[in-house]
Amino acid sequence: MLVGGVSVVCVAISRWQQGGKAGVVGGCLMILLGALGIAPAVRPETLTVDDGGLHLRYLFGVRVIPWYLVRSFRAGGGNGRWAVRVELGTGRQVMLPALQGSRGRAERMADELTAAHREYLADGGD
């Protein structure tokens, strides 16, 4: 995705240099598309787990899910696009960032997160 984003920016610059209204508008749109291709490489989605819960960092923000809101973790998907989801006490499900991949990896991560959640519950939910 990074290479695609850089390529789009290069094409946009060449269109911009061609001048004219179409060149400027086309160049601006292509720079925007290129930036969207580069941004995930510069700020990848991450998941951090600590005593407070889950910290999900996305491209445009951060979300914190405290342990007390967590009901369970599940690996799901198919066709090489397996992911881990957290089910909240409200029944809502949230796909966790950076935990996509093979079935085995997703299931291992769901198991590890479940173990961390059980530890939180065993400690009295402090």
What local confidence, expressed as pLDDT, does residue 47 receive? 87
CATH class for the domain made up of 46-122: mainly beta
Buried b / exposed e across 43-78, counting CB within 10 Å, b at 16+?
Answer: eeeebeeeeebbebbeeeeeeebebebbeebebebe
85-116: per-residue pLDDT in tens?
Answer: 999 999 999 988 866 678 888 899 999 999 99
Separation of alpha carbons 44 and 95, rounded Å = 15
Is the Cβ–Cβ distance between 58 and 98 less than 8 Å?
A: no
Tokens of 58: 């996305």
What local confidence, expressed as pLDDT, does residue 101 receive? 74
Give backbone dihedrals phi and psi of 9, rounded to 5 degrees, phi first.
-65, -40
Q: Read off the pTM.
A: 0.63
Separation of alpha carbons 3 and 74, rounded Å = 33
| Residue extents of the structural domains in the chain | 2-42, 46-122
What local confidence, expressed as pLDDT, does residue 74 receive? 94
Q: Is the pLDDT of residue 9 over 80?
A: no
Separation of alpha carbons 48 and 44, rounded Å = 13
Tokens of 21: 């209204």
